[in-house]
Structure formats: C-alpha cells, structure tokens
Structure 1
Amino acid sequence: MIGLGSVVARTLKAALYVGVAAWPMNVLAQAAPVAPQAEPGVAPGADAAEPADIVVTGFRRSLQLANEQKRNADVVSDGISAEDIGKFPDQNLAESLQRITGVQITRSRGEGSSVSIRGLAPDFARTQYNGRTLGSGGSRSFDFTSLSAEFVSAVEVAKSPTADMIEGGLAGTINVRTARPLDIGKSSFNGTVEGVYEDNPDKLSPRVAGLANYANASKTFGINVGVAYEQRKYLAVSYEGYGAETGVEARRNPPIDYNRDGDFGDTYTFNHAQAYQAFPGTRKRLSIVGALQYKPADNINVFADYFHSDFRDTGRWYENATRFTNIAPALPGQPYGVTASTIDTSLVPQLLSGSQGFVTSMTATGLDHRASTFSQDSRKILNSYAAGFDITDGAMKVSGQASYFNSTTNSLNNGFATISRGVGTITHPDGLGSPPKVTYGAGYDPLDPSTFFLLSQDFFGGRNSDRNYEGRLDAEYTFDAGFLKSLKAGLYYGDRRNTAVDTRSSANAATLARLSGGKLVFAPNVEGASGAVRATNILKPISFDTKIPYYPASYLVTDLDAYYGIIPYSTVIGAVPPQDVSGSGYDVGERTMAVYAQAGFGSTDGRLGGNFGVRYVDTQTVSSGLVPDLNGLIIEPGGVFTTVPTGVPTQVKGDYRYLLPSFNVKYEVASDVVVRGALARVLGRPGLGSLSAGTGVNANVRSINSGNPALAPYLSDQADLSLEYYLPKQGLLSAAIFYKHLTNYIINGQVTQTLTAQLRGGGTQTLEFRRNQPLNLESANIKGAELAAQLPLSYLGGAFDGFGVFGSFTYIDAPQIPQFQGGPSAPLNGVSKYNYNAGGYFEKYGIGIRGNYTYRSTFSSGDANYFGDGTFVPAYGQIDASVSYQLTPAISLSADVTNLLDALQKTENGFGLTRINSQIGRRITAGVHFRF
C-alpha cells in the first residue's frame, strides 16, 4: 500500500516506464505550451470572449461534442465523445459512462465492467458496436473490460427508443461508435505508450495502442487498422462471508448443538463460512479493429469493419477460511462441538422462516479451518464482423447491414481442500456490518502445517459460446416541405445461440497419495471414510498489508510450487481429466424477426420535431438441456463439489410476439432551450441462461437451480420529459423526469426438497435443498428525476478562464419486491435511490487537469446468493483524477489515477451481515500520446 502523498512519485515512476528519456532531445528542448489555434480566417489574438474565435481542445472539446450530439438527437439521450482518435476521456468506457446522468456501473477487480441505466440491472441495458449487437459470454449485458477505449470516437446512451432501434434495451441502448476511415479523412497514425502502476501489488505493466488510417486523395477509399495491448498486475485483498445459512442442528453431519441446551432440535442461522482472501492476478487484453470504406460517388457509401478482443485473467486465490457448518472430529473419537455461543433473537423476523436466531459468536472444538489455494485461468475471445451500405437517390435513402459475432469463454481452475481441526472462536466486535474476528486457543496453532490434511484436489471450470447472425434493411423517404418530414420502414432478423457447460473432476486423497509415489502420506481414517494425506510439506505462510479489519497477520496456504514439485500438474489432470457436469449446461437458440414503420414530423420553422412509429417483434426460442436423477448425487465429505448423474436430454420451445409503439417529440422554446417528451412500450429479454432447460446442483450450499424456457420477456410502458438549456461556451443545464411500469418481472420461485446423497467414500447423507427456478411473478413502477450541469467558470470573469465544473444527480423511486417466491420484500435489483457525480477541470496553456467523484447509494445486486438472504452493495464513492500536458502539437503527456483515496468495496446481506469487504488499491496510468 502507499499513502496519498506517494501518488506523485508513483506517477513519475510510471511515466519513466514509457521511455521518455529516449525521445529526441531537440523535441524536448523546443517544447513549449501550445496556444489555442485560431480558426481559418480569424486573426490570432481576436476577442477570446467569442466562442467562435477559439478552437476548443481537450476535455472541453469532448464536452462540446457531447452537447452537440445531445441537442441534435431525436430521442432522450446523452453521450461522451472523444476529442480525437485515441483520446477518449478515460481508459475504461464504463468509467466514462458513469459520468452520464442516470448511468451507474459495477466494477470487477477495480475496473468498470458492467453498466446500469436508471437503476435497472445491467441485463436491461443493450450494448451495440456501431449499431450492431455485441455479445459477452451469453449475458444480455456487456462486459466492458473486453473493450479498449483507444479506438472509440463516441458512446451514445439512448434512454427513449424509436421504432427503428433494435429492441431489447428496456433501460436504454448504449451504442459504441468507432471512426470510419473517411470520417477521419486523412492518412494518419495515432499512438499511445503508457505504464500502468498498481498500488496493492506494487507492480508496473505496459499499455500500448496505435491506429493507422489511410484515405486516398479523392476521399473515395479508406482503410484503417488499430491494435491495443494492455496488461494489469492486480492484487485484490478481501474478506468474504458466504451468506446466512439456516440449518436444523440434527441435520448437521455430525449433529451440532449450537445453543448448548442438550438437544439437537433447534434451528439457527449462521454465516456459512468466513474467509480471508487474496487474489494476485494478471489481466491481459489485446484489441484489434479494422475498417474499410468505399464511396465511389457522393450518394453511395459501402463499408465493412472488424473488432477482435482477447481478454485473459489469470491468478491465484489464497484463502484462510473457517466454517460454522462443519464442526466435527478429525479422527473418530476425538472431541468436537460448540463450547460457547451467543445468539441474537432480535433478527428472527428478518431470517428465513423457522430460524430461532442468528449465531453471532461461537467457540468450537473441531472447527473446520482451511488453508486453501486456487489457481484461476479464464480467457474470453470475441470477434465481430459487419458489412453494409448506404445509397441515396434524391429523397430516398436505402441502408443495409449484415453482421456476425462470436464470443467464447473458457476457464479451468483448480483448488485444494486442505483442512485442519482445532479450537477456534469467532466474534463480531464491530457488529455484523464488519468482518468477524477469528482467534484460536487450547494449544491450537493455525500456522502449524503438521495439523493440516489434504482431502482432494478439485478441478472446475466451464465453456461458454455465444454467437449471433444479424441483418437489417432500412428505407427512408424525405419530404421537402410540409409537416410530415420523413417516412421510414425496415426489416430486422437476428439468430442467436448460446451454449454453456460446467466441467469438474476431483482427485481424492488416495489417488493423490498414489500419484505422489509415496511422497504424500495417506491417512485412511482422517475426515471420514475417504481419508486424507498429510499436508505438512505442501503449505507455506503468506501475509498482506491491508485496511480490512481483523485480516490475519499471516496464514497458511497451499504452496503450488511445492505441490507440483511432488505431483506435476500434467500427471494429476491426466489421471482425473475434467468432465462435463451433467445437467449444468444449456443450449439456448433465439430467432427474432421484426418489422417497423416510422414517421418523422416537424414544423416549417424547425422548432418542433419528432417521430412516431411502431415495431412488431416475433421471437422464437429453443432450449435444450439435461435433467438428472437427483437421487444419484455423489458428494465428497468435507469437500465442496458435487457429482451429478447423467441426465435425460430435454428440449423445450417457446415464442412471443409484441407490438412496440414509440413517440418522441422535441420543441425549441427558445434558441437555446429545448423541451423533449417520449412515450413508448419497450421489451427486455430474459437472460439466456435463465431460459435453460437443464438443472444444476451444488450440495455444498444445498441448492438446486433450474432454468425456465417458458419465461416471457419483461415489458415496460414508459414516459420521459426533459428540459435542456444550452449555454454559451459548452455550458449545459438539464432536468428530466421518467416513469416505467414494468410487467413480467422475473424472480426466483423457491421450494424446499430433501434428498439423500451418496458419500464418495461410502455411506449416505440426507440433505435439505432449496430448488430455484425463475418465474414471471412481479410488476413494478419506477419513477425518477435527473439533473445535470456543465458550467465553464469563465462566466465569472477572465481569472476563471479555463476552469469548469460538471456533475449530475439521479433520484430513482422503485418499489420493494421479493427476491424469491414467498420471501421478504427487498429493493428492486440494481436500483440505487441516489446517484451523483461531481467534477471539475482546468484546461489552458496546454495543461489539462480533471477530477471526478462518483457516488452510488445502496442497491441490491440481484444475487439471492446460496442461502436466499440477499446481496446488497452499500453506498460507495470513488475519486478519479487526471492531468495532461500538450508538449507539442503532435505529442501530449498524461497521467490518470483511479480510486485516488483507495476506497474499499463492500457487499452485505439483507440484515447487514458483511458478505464482501475488498481492497483493490489505486491504479495509476501515465504515458505519452502522439499523432502524425
């Protein structure tokens, strides 16, 4: 970790990484601040008070372009534009989007990953790339960590639809645009070389990008190619609570008397496990873009483009965990059980039905203590292709586009069930909203490797393939005069298929002892009939400096280097090759046909304008999967993986048809004041995984999960009204209100089912499962208001020239609904009541400085988690900052700091029990951008 005072030094260190010393000395010697350039025909030194006399650059230029885009739009929308190719305001598109009014983001390993619009979950936001569907491993949402910002010219967020827009964006549609060769209009090269410094691991990594563009002299043909590569070495240090499990004392294996009253008939809720974790990892992203454009005549435009992303995330996951749910003797006859406990009965109304209280502290003998290491390796490859044309003949314009994308995600991880039994005490000194304190006693040493045993090595991962064929044809006729301005009609066809499957395998202790050639000693009676091997020579202590309360000073984890020195990785995976898990996968096909008609209208003076239309959508689905016989479950004692017997193939078809009308209008009250209104019915499709016909089981957390191919789409009848005041010098004030009536809202249907599972080493165990299946059970009304401002402070006088402030505020009023059938009401998934961002900038004399604070109040993540107690993200705020300097007209320097104050990220359950408390640290990016 570093203090705030060290940020400048670290920034300089990152800048040195890019090889500034290698620049030509004559460039450095002649460097001078770049004065604002006069427009052609305007004398230098003309009155700066007139905006037309200044060529605006930098962040102010991106604000100006976004304002122009917003003002000219036919719908309620916002956006962010790049000042120039390769100069998008942020390195991460999601982090740029969070500055837009009504947009919120979630983060993965400190990077913006998914985007919500007006509080609705990311699956309700449709993401497009140059107007076509962009997939992300089967999810309706898009993972923005796969997309480099280097080649993006603008991102548009349409909050109200038109009939010609592809349906599916119930919350809104995000369109990522890249510049075509003839839009750039000249032969050029833009490049960036940067160093990325991560605070937590104290590591520096490269980030480079370049885009070459060619346009012939007649501007009839152009081609461009861009390549970007980024590497991040991160370290996430965290506490994780697995959720509030409710269990009957007699159904523990063996039974556990939690309240020490002498019987096993009580039912209590407790934290399934408390784990202190560290995730050192590396992310690598390669992005490639390419485009062709041909304009043989002014009225003909033919284009094609390509986008490729290769994103890989590798690392190790170290975990020190204790589990309330598994208190037992390590060897037959040894003592075990609860020796002291406190139970909070005041939480009973908030707990699952039947619970008599929550176990807030406990001392136990035979407490399950884990010293685990997991290796993780996932890779997502995305390819997207498109070709199209625009032909104009007088008042008629015909456009067509065909596209294809394919996204594949593969992961293969492995972990070790390494366990010890001892005397441990778990308390919550700071309340349930903070991580617990775990201490050990009665002579038990948590750092003594001789007390640990390895039960198994488990492999787990999966494959996901998502592909889509898409085509559209549009025709528009424009009228020269009259109130009717245009008529537009078109056809759309989409064919999407998503397949997924989980893979698993497990090598038990006896297998590992055999593969080790006797170097791992097998103990047949430890931890049940399956036995274990001594882990003495395959453990090591580790330690991390962190702000997380009660994080242990050091703890043992599996030493993978030592372990694979005994049993090579190829040997063990060759002995137990991963197999597809029966019932876990799905195969969902979705075909959509749509037709629309739309009319544009406007007054002769241009002050009134808008459009109205209707879209007809016909969608057919086919879901295939496996339904296993759940009476044949096999579980590993003390382990966390479940073997499911081969299932019976099943296939289910579904279809739905809807008319989606829309109406948009805008009116210029004055030359600088615009009022907008919109009415529409909007459709949002269920997640592709939710349409699965298969069934998956997890015996560790007692859950059975099935899809539902018969799900209907979400529908929203909505209205928007906004007022926009465009000030001189890129200023803007705006306000909006919106309303959405959602129907067919999907929540989990949930019932209890008791099954008897076979233990891998022999015997059986009776377990009570929760069976989950998504159902269309709810409706909801969402109301909200938005305010936004962009204010250059030059209004206050010349001393403030170059300074400006910007910000937005969103209020969302949404009802509480159950997260599962029959459960307590909880806030609508993804909705934060209060969202705002505020920032300021200075740009003058070639210097640019910008800071931004974003805030999002508490929201439900939509994950009911393993035990149905909900997952909520508490209020979170983060400060990001950047500084840049225009060294020459062709070279600029920049440095950006993400999460300047090292804010922690947290989640909790429905009654405030901490689920996750994570520290990812600051990220500093510094380097040079050049163009010629």
Structure 2
Amino acid sequence: MAKFHHHFAVRTMSAAIAAVSCAHVYAQGDNDLLEEVVVTGIRGSLTDAMDIKRDASGVVEAISAEDIGKFPDTNLAESLQRVTGVSIDRSNNEGNQVTVRGFGPAFNMVTMNGRQMPNSTALDSEGVNRSFNFKEIAAESVSGVEVYKSGRANVTSGGIGATINIKTARPFDYDGFTAAGSVKGMMDLSNEEGDDVTPEVSAMISTTFADDMFGLLVSGSYSERDSQSQRVGTEAWNRNYGSADTSAIDLEQNPTGSFWTPYTFGVDVSNHQRTRENAQVVLQFAPVDNVTASLDYVVSNYEENIDMTRTSYWFDSPQSVTDANGTSTQIRNPNDELNFWAWDYHFLTENDSIGLNVEWDVTDTLSLSFDAHDSTSHSQPDGEQSETIANLKNPRFDLGNGAIGLVDIGADINGTDLPTIIYDDSALQDQTGYGAFDKENIATDLYQKRGYEVENNIKQYKIDGQWDNADSGALRTIRFGVESTEYNVDAYRTFTAVFGLNADISGLDLTFNPLGDFGDQLDGPEGLFPYLADYSAAEFIDIIDDQGLFSVDPATINRVEEETVAAYISFDFSTDFNNLPVDINAGLRYEDTDTTGTSVQNGILAMGFVGDDELRPVFDDTPSEQSLEGGYTRFLPNLDVKVELTEDWVARASYSTTLARPEISALFPSTNINTARPGGPFQASQGNPSLLPYESDNLDFSVEWYYAEGSYASAGYFKKYVDNFLGSTIEKREIYDINGDPLRDPSANARPGCPDASNQACQSQAGDPIITWDVGTPGNLDNTEVDGWEFNLQHMFGGSGFGAIANATIVDSDAEYDITSFDQTLALSGLSDSANLIGFYEKHGFQIRLAYNWRDDFLLSTGQPQNGNEPTFTEAYGQWDLNASYDITDNVSVFVEGLNITEETSRQHGRYAEQLLSAEQFGSRYTLGVRANF
C-alpha cells in the first residue's frame, strides 16, 4: 500500500476534478450589466440541468453539481441512476456501470470533456471490455454530466444507449481565487475486519494571475472504504444433470420436460478494502482575447483487495426430485465431501490522461478548436494476478470399491428462500474418529491463479470548427470537424489450475468459525452450514510453493489495434412554421475503422489427464504469433427537430444512426480451451477481428411542459432498430497440437496411475481417441428492436423550499430471453424498467434529500459462472438513500449521507426464480463530514 501511495504522489499531487455549477441571472438596464446572481444548491443544480434539457436540439439529460465539489451523490453512477432512462449495476453495493434505455455498459460511450476514455479490467470471468467503471471516479471531481440519448454528428460515436460526457472544471470557470474542500468519515455498518471509520478527503484550489492571462487549477481526492459482504449461492444450474424424479413437471410450462440441478451450494464471506485516489492539474493561457489554450493532466488510481472464504460442496452424482418447472427441490448425493475455499482478489487500476485544447475565435463568426489527448488505463500494473484461489476438502478413502468420500450431502430448495443444507459425516467419523469440520479430515485439492493485465491507450486528435451566421436567415450555425482515434489494447491473460494436490498443510492457519448471525438480512439463513472455513489463499500458495508444487502456465498475449478516422458536418436552422418557432439540427458523420487483432501464445503439446474432472493442455516453451484483420466504413446521419408549441410547451422529434463497437475480447484471434472434462464437454473459443459494429437506427419523440421556474413534466417515446448483434456460432472441429496433429483424450482409456498431473503417461498418446471440440466464435448474427416510454416530473413547491422528482422508464424488446428455449442466439442483457422518486427540502441553509431508486428484474448474462448455456437474472431491487446538510456560515457546512439505509439485499437466479444463484447482503453505510469553500 505504501508503494502504491508513493507512486501516486510522484505522478501528481491533486485530485479529481472539482465541481462547479452556476446559473447566471442578469438584470440589464441601458445595456449595462447590473448584477450577477449565482444560484447554487439543489434547486440551482436542478434548474441548470432543466435548462440544458430544454435548450438542446436532441434528447439530452444533464446533472449539475450543487456547488464547488458538491455532486448530488457520493458516487457518480449513483447520481446517473436518477436520470430518466438510466439504471446501474453495483459492485459491492457501490454504483459501477450504467445501462441506458435497456442497453448495458458495453453499449454506452463515456467521454470526459468530449474525449473518449480508456478502460481496463482484470477479472478473467469478465474478459476485456469497453465498459467504463464509474466507481473509479470521485463524485467531487465532476462539475456536470451530460447524457446524449440521441445521436449527434459532432459527438464521438460508440454509444447505442447513450453517450455520457463527464465535465470537469477549469480555472477560467472561476473569477480569481477559489478554494473548496471537504473532510468525511465513512461508517460502513457491514464492516467486520477493517476500520470502523474510513476517511474521504477532497480539495480544490483555482486561481488566475497576470491580469487573467494565466489560470491554474489543482484538485485532489482520497477515499477509503472497508466493508463486508455475505453471500449464499451456487456456481451454476445444469440441465439434465444427474438423475431425477421428474413426475411433477408441468409440460405446459416446461415443454421439453428438462430438469435442472445445481453444481454446488455454498456460503461465503468477503472482506473488502478499497482505496481511490483522483487528481487533476489544469493550466490555462489566454495570450490574446481570441485565443485560449488549456493543458490538463488527470490521474486516478483504484485499488481493491478482497479476502473471501467459502464453505460448500459439489454435487458429483446428484439424485433429485423436481417441482413443476423442472427445478430440483430435493437433492441427495451420497459418498461425497465438503469443500473449503479461499479467494484472494487483488485489483489495481491506474488511469492517466494528458490533453491539450486550443480555442481560436478567428473572426466574429468563425471559431476553430484543436483538441488532443493521450490517455491510458492500466490494470494490474504491478504484474500480480487478480485472483488466487485455493480449495481444501475432506479426504477420500478406498474401501474396496474405489476412492469415495464419506460425507453424504444434499439440499432442500425452499421456493425462493435460502436452501436447507444437508450433510451427514457419520461415516467419516466412524472411519477416522473426526468429523467433516475437524482439521484432521482436511486435505488439499486444488489451486488456481488467473486474471488479466490490461493496458488500454487512446490517442485522439480533433479539429472542430463553427461558423455563425451574422445575417438574417434560417441557417444559424454550421459545425464541422475531423477526428483521428488510435485505440490500442494489450491484454496479458494468465490461467493456471492444478488439481489433485497432495500437500502438507499442517502449517496453514486454518480455523472453522460458527456462522453466527451470517445472512441475518436474507430469507431463511437458519438451515445453512454450521461453520465457515477461514484461511488465506495467499498463505496456501506460499506453502505449495515451498513444497515445490507450484507452477504457472504461460501467458497468452492479445493485442487489438483499432484506428478510426472520422469527419462530420452539421447545420442548425431556426425558423417559424405556422408562427411556431422551430429549431432544426441536421448532421452527417463519416467513420472509417481498421482493426488488427494479434495473439501470442504457447503451442499445445498434448492434453493431460490431471484429475477426475479435468483434462488440461500441456504447453511448450515457444510462443507463436497470429494476426487477423478487419474493418468497416459507416455514415451516421442525424436529424433533430424542436418546436416551441407555446412559451411553456416544447415538442421534439429526432432520428439518428448510432453504433457501438464489439467487445475487445471478441476480437482476440487466440484459441482458448475453456472446459475439458473426461467424457466431455470439450469446449473452446476463438475471437473474430472482422466483427462489424452494432448499428442502431433511432427514433425519439417527446413533449415537455415547462410550467414554472425549476418545474417541468415530460413524456417521451423511443424506438431503436439494432443490427449486427453478436452471437456465438458453435463449430464442431478438431484443435491441433504444435505438430499439426489433433488433440486426443487420454482419459478415454486411462492408463495405470492416472489421473496424475506429473505423470507423462497420463498425457495424450497416438492411440487415444481424437477430441471433437465445440468451438465458439462470435459473429454478427441477428437484429432486434427496442422501444420504450420515459416519463419525468420535476416540481418545486413555490417558495416553501420543498421539491420532488418522479420519473419512470418502461422498456420492451423482441430480444427478451425466452426461458423455454435452449437455442436462442440473441437476448439483450440489461433490459429492464426503472423508476426514481426523490423528495427534497432546501431553505434557511438546511438541505435534505431522500431518494428511492428502483430497477425491475433483468437478464444480467446469458451464462452462469460454471455454465455458459444457462442465464443469470438479477431480481428487482430498490434502494433508499439520504443526505442532509446545514450551512454553518456562508462558507462552511456540515453534512451526513446515508446509502442503502434500509439494508436491502440482492438476489440472482437462473432460468426460474427457484433456481437461486446468489443471495447477497451488504448493509448500509453513512458518511459524516464538513465542507468549506472560499
């Protein structure tokens, strides 16, 4: 940690990006400026956001900071979820990524001050994607956010759902010297092992000098969070796994008569330690009145360490009884074992961006600007793998019929409550004199080391121009520009899994702790395991390494180089139609993209029979390179029409074509063996750099009523026609070793002494049967339609100080997941209805806001952690948040913030609601602090 903080301090000193929001009201007489009134606070920020929405030609939503360094929520994503049509997903109950109008994180473009921002991820299970992580940005660093729901020619492409532009402050935004800062203490009520109170500190100083020729802004923030999450669940539900009594199945709701049985059930506890550091330095220079240059450097570091332990079991030969939909409700598996897992997660992401912007007012009617930035996001720059996994188990005994476990396991599924866990270790006690939770009956099983190191660099250069018509006429403005973007990703993937360990762990610090009040916020935790294993995965690996049993597979290196050249032109018209003021924006954007995907990986010598449930490739020592190319050209038009029906009523209609580029992992040409088990399945995957982007033709219609200061109501309808949706094409084929021979199955006719990872006789030989693999390759397979309604009401109750916001989004699509289908190629994840209800009071220096955010159930993924063919649904979730502040003086205020104050829990399930995948509780958290500005 000390090294991390030092590295941060060396790179820059300030923090992320202070915020300002001002609504300027001018009273003029004799053409002279008499007074400027700066409106801040809740009402000011909401009025400012409303004005942005009203004045925009397309469909735009906005959030503005309430004051310098004071954003509406402690997390940027949690502020965005208040916007109509925007919903979020959470990581450890902290806002992380956004979904807009039913389109998940991968379909939304995030920019900062109009610049495309890089992203990097470390989790092996997530792959390498373009989804921006909002949890890495402190809310104090942002002055405003604009959400462009309709396409614009002059807005960077990449978002089908929306383009979200994060705005940060510059010194010329302020009049002379300005300073602001805050100090908070966070109390996360879920915390058990970290600090009960953790700090959050932010500060910003801005000044101008040399007769306002120069400006300098320095800002910074630092925050820590210690917390705990508790979870009950399984890694997958598998179709027709084991044997089952299916007599209760109702064929009307389950036409195929299939049944589903879980792989596992377990309870786990995760202790989180999160540190976030943001900083910004901005230098502005105005040598003459018509030229302004801005040089800025932004950096953010995010580190999270998670220690997780789990007690569980794995159904090897389940026997079950099903309910009407085919879900196994009574599961029994004799002669098995318990498993005791430990995870060590380590996430470190460093982001930095340096940019130059020059604005030149060439004449009174023509202005030009040049913008360039070089931005990098680097996950795991320390080279550490993000996941270390260890597993212990009860021993197996050979009692004359082969090695078996002596613990009978089972589960009763109690509808949508938690399962009742069943285990009987009496046979194990008879054999050894000890039970399943005694250290004398604990043996080593496996370890894994896996994860990505990703470096994502974006170099972007833009020249923009604007011509304003000084004469009369309908044409008011012409905007034009050219843009070059170099998007480069280097991803180093490591995956090592060793099964069948036989190590001495007498020195391992292993304890079994009673569950106690584990899961006390969940439904029915009484029937779970009596104890939770507690040990360190890192210590386990050290012991394995000391005994010479540790090995690491060679990394696979993947690179994607994506070069895009773009140009645009747009026209703004203002005219009257039947005495109604009409504003029109018409634009066209041209884009040409070339993509090269490169993979470097070691060749495969053979398949090794290393465990009862695993075949693993044996690699050579010589990496080889493979490259594939692709590309596409697109024209993206837009047309926005806004009509002022009356002084208070506005109607608008928009048409646009937008695109979103494929996930980075889908462009890797490497072939990866995903699953290889004795007898199958044999599954592998390969990327496709020739993928085309998703394309969407968008229609928007809305009516807005601005009936009082700060108050309005709106209703809108949207429809999207999306082409080129990705799906996986499965090809049955052979995979070849370094000699060009097909890989073979050494487990089909197992030789003596096998399985054994160290025995060469357990590797493929010429007489073994050839493996036929299911190789999944992404392709542009399908199209779909998405439509929906958005309703919003914002009302200020006169001069009482009270106000309220209510909004709702209703979304529908023909790409909804069909739970009765097993061959669906297209399903839109993230599609869900959402709603917000916010009440606030602001008067006499006192502010209070109570907000409820609700999101209906939605398809999170078409796969599960251990089964890529079964869906994951996140159930409906609602959360109450509260913040309040009091102005002690004009410059100093105290505040309290509460998130998830009613301690809501989250739940995920498989194909049916009874198929529990995860039930998780996080608790609530509060911050208490003081804020000052001068």
TM-score, normalised to structure 2's length? 0.83
Conserved 8 A contact 1:85-1:151: no
Matched, 1:488 2:479: yes
| 2:719 alignment counterpart | 739
| 1:498 alignment counterpart | 489
Distance between the aligned counterparts of 2:676 and 2:907, measured in 1? 24
Task: Spell out, residue by residue over 1:102-121, the C-alpha distance to the aligned partner (whole angstroms, 9 max, x if none).
Answer: 00100001110001111111
Computed over aligned residues only, the root mean square deviation of the Cα atoms, in angstroms, reads 3.2
Conserved 8 A contact 2:328-2:413: no
Question: Which amino acid is the alignment partner of residue 614 of structure 1?
Answer: L
Shift in alpha-carbon separation, 1:38–1:271, aligned structure 2, 3 A? closer
Give the 3-state SS of the residue equivalent to 2:50 in structure 1.
Answer: helix
Shift in alpha-carbon separation, 1:720–1:248, aligned structure 2, 3 A? closer
Distance between the aligned counterparts of 1:225 and 1:408, measured in 2? 23
1:540 CA drift (Å) = 3.4
Pairing of 1:296-375 with structure 2 (within 5 A): 296-324=287-315, 326=316, 341-344=320-323, 346-347=324-325, 359-375=328-344
Distance between the aligned counterparts of 1:53 and 1:216, measured in 2? 22
Conserved 8 A contact 1:818-1:824: no
From 596, 618, 627, the counterpart of 1:651: 627
Conserved 8 A contact 1:626-1:693: no
| 2:146 alignment counterpart | 156
Shift in alpha-carbon separation, 1:538–1:770, aligned structure 2, 3 A? farther
Shift in alpha-carbon separation, 1:396–1:832, aligned structure 2, 3 A? same
| 1:352 alignment counterpart | none
Distance between the aligned counterparts of 1:918 and 1:769, measured in 2? 36
Question: Which amino acid is the alignment partner of residue 721 of structure 1?
Answer: F
Give the 3-state SS of the residue equivalent to 2:665 in structure 1.
Answer: helix
From 675, 679, 687, the counterpart of 2:651: 675
Question: Which amino acid is the alignment partner of residue 97 of structure 2?
Answer: S
Shift in alpha-carbon separation, 1:705–1:436, aligned structure 2, 3 A? farther
1:409 CA drift (Å) = 0.8
User: Which segment drifts farther, 142-151 or 829-838?
Assistant: 829-838
1:638 CA drift (Å) = 6.2
Conserved 8 A contact 1:750-1:820: no
Shift in alpha-carbon separation, 1:784–1:247, aligned structure 2, 3 A? closer
Pairing of 1:821-836 with structure 2 (within 5 A): 823-825=822-824, 828-836=827-835
From 546, 567, 570, the counterpart of 1:598: 570
Conserved 8 A contact 1:694-1:707: yes
Conserved 8 A contact 1:644-1:697: no
Distance between the aligned counterparts of 1:87 and 1:504, measured in 2? 43
| 2:180 alignment counterpart | 190
Question: Which amino acid is the alignment partner of residue 661 of structure 1?
Answer: P
Distance between the aligned counterparts of 2:878 and 2:510, measured in 1? 41
From 203, 206, 219, the counterpart of 1:213: 206
From 708, 726, 746, the counterpart of 2:688: 708
Distance between the aligned counterparts of 1:390 and 1:54, measured in 2? 28
Distance between the aligned counterparts of 1:741 and 1:785, measured in 2? 15
From 462, 465, 482, the counterpart of 2:455: 465
TM-score, normalised to structure 1's length? 0.83
Shift in alpha-carbon separation, 1:827–1:193, aligned structure 2, 3 A? farther
| 2:751 alignment counterpart | none
Distance between the aligned counterparts of 2:609 and 2:899, measured in 1? 44
From 387, 403, 408, the counterpart of 1:424: 408
| 1:622 alignment counterpart | 596
1:424 CA drift (Å) = 3.4
User: Which segment drifts farther, 144-153 or 290-299?
Assistant: 290-299
| 2:790 alignment counterpart | 786
Distance between the aligned counterparts of 2:37 and 2:179, measured in 1? 25
Pairing of 1:710-789 with structure 2 (within 5 A): 710-750=690-730, 756=745, 759=755, 760-762=757-759, 763=762, 770-789=774-793
Conserved 8 A contact 1:120-1:171: yes
Distance between the aligned counterparts of 1:128 and 1:308, measured in 2? 15
Distance between the aligned counterparts of 2:823 and 2:639, measured in 1? 38
Distance between the aligned counterparts of 1:846 and 1:41, measured in 2? 25
Pairing of 1:74-113 with structure 2 (within 5 A): 74-113=57-96
Give the 3-state SS of the residue equivalent to 2:525 in structure 1.
Answer: coil
| 1:294 alignment counterpart | 285
User: Which segment drifts farther, 503-512 or 600-609?
Assistant: 503-512
1:849 CA drift (Å) = 0.9
| 1:401 alignment counterpart | 371
Shift in alpha-carbon separation, 1:730–1:568, aligned structure 2, 3 A? same
Conserved 8 A contact 2:244-2:321: no
Give the 3-state SS of the residue equivalent to 2:619 in structure 1.
Answer: coil
Question: Which amino acid is the alignment partner of residue 342 of structure 1?
Answer: V
Matched, 1:850 2:849: yes
Give the 3-state SS of the residue equivalent to 1:398 in structure 2.
Answer: strand
Distance between the aligned counterparts of 2:473 and 2:733, measured in 1? 67
1:554 CA drift (Å) = 4.1
Distance between the aligned counterparts of 2:814 and 2:653, measured in 1? 24
Q: Determine what percentage of the aligned residue pairs are the same residue.
A: 25
Shift in alpha-carbon separation, 1:240–1:567, aligned structure 2, 3 A? closer
Question: Which amino acid is the alignment partner of residue 878 of structure 1?
Answer: Q
Pairing of 1:164-203 with structure 2 (within 5 A): 164-201=154-191, 203=196
Shift in alpha-carbon separation, 1:736–1:704, aligned structure 2, 3 A? same
Distance between the aligned counterparts of 2:259 and 2:708, measured in 1? 64
Shift in alpha-carbon separation, 1:477–1:821, aligned structure 2, 3 A? farther
From 118, 143, 150, the counterpart of 2:133: 143
Give the 3-state SS of the residue equivalent to 1:277 in structure 2.
Answer: strand
Shift in alpha-carbon separation, 1:267–1:80, aligned structure 2, 3 A? closer
Question: Which amino acid is the alignment partner of residue 320 of structure 2?
Answer: S
Pairing of 1:772-921 with structure 2 (within 5 A): 772-794=776-798, 801-816=800-815, 823-825=822-824, 828-865=827-864, 866-912=867-913, 913-921=915-923
Conserved 8 A contact 1:815-1:827: no
Conserved 8 A contact 1:379-1:409: yes
| 2:925 alignment counterpart | 923
Distance between the aligned counterparts of 2:825 and 2:907, measured in 1? 18
1:606 CA drift (Å) = 9.6
Conserved 8 A contact 1:747-1:819: no
Shift in alpha-carbon separation, 1:306–1:679, aligned structure 2, 3 A? same
Shift in alpha-carbon separation, 1:580–1:290, aligned structure 2, 3 A? farther
Task: Spell out, residue by residue over 1:167-211, the C-alpha distance to the aligned partner (whole angstroms, 9 max, x if none).
Answer: 111111000001110102221221110011111115221111111
| 2:345 alignment counterpart | 376
Task: Spell out, residue by residue over 1:764-811, the C-alpha distance to the aligned partner (whole angstroms, 9 max, x if none).
Answer: 7999965332221111111111110110122xxx6xx01111011111
Shift in alpha-carbon separation, 1:886–1:905, aligned structure 2, 3 A? same
Matched, 1:276 2:248: no
Distance between the aligned counterparts of 1:167 and 1:260, measured in 2? 51
Conserved 8 A contact 2:554-2:602: no
5+ residue gaps in structure 2? 1-22, 29-34, 121-127, 248-256, 395-404, 429-434, 735-743, 748-754
5+ residue gaps in structure 1? 1-36, 43-51, 250-256, 328-337, 348-356, 521-534
Shift in alpha-carbon separation, 1:175–1:442, aligned structure 2, 3 A? closer
Distance between the aligned counterparts of 2:175 and 2:410, measured in 1? 66
Distance between the aligned counterparts of 2:920 and 2:607, measured in 1? 35
1:822 CA drift (Å) = 8.2
Shift in alpha-carbon separation, 1:601–1:620, aligned structure 2, 3 A? same
Question: Which amino acid is the alignment partner of residue 232 of structure 1?
Answer: R
Give the 3-state SS of the residue equivalent to 1:816 in structure 2.
Answer: coil
Shift in alpha-carbon separation, 1:802–1:430, aligned structure 2, 3 A? same
Shift in alpha-carbon separation, 1:679–1:85, aligned structure 2, 3 A? same
Distance between the aligned counterparts of 1:122 and 1:149, measured in 2? 19
From 620, 629, 637, the counterpart of 2:611: 637
1:86 CA drift (Å) = 0.6
Task: Spell out, residue by residue over 1:707-746, the C-alpha distance to the aligned partner (whole angstroms, 9 max, x if none).
Answer: 2212111111111111121232311111111110001111
Distance between the aligned counterparts of 2:306 and 2:113, measured in 1? 34
From 119, 123, 136, the counterpart of 2:102: 119
Shift in alpha-carbon separation, 1:270–1:635, aligned structure 2, 3 A? farther
Question: Which amino acid is the alignment partner of residue 771 of structure 1?
Answer: V
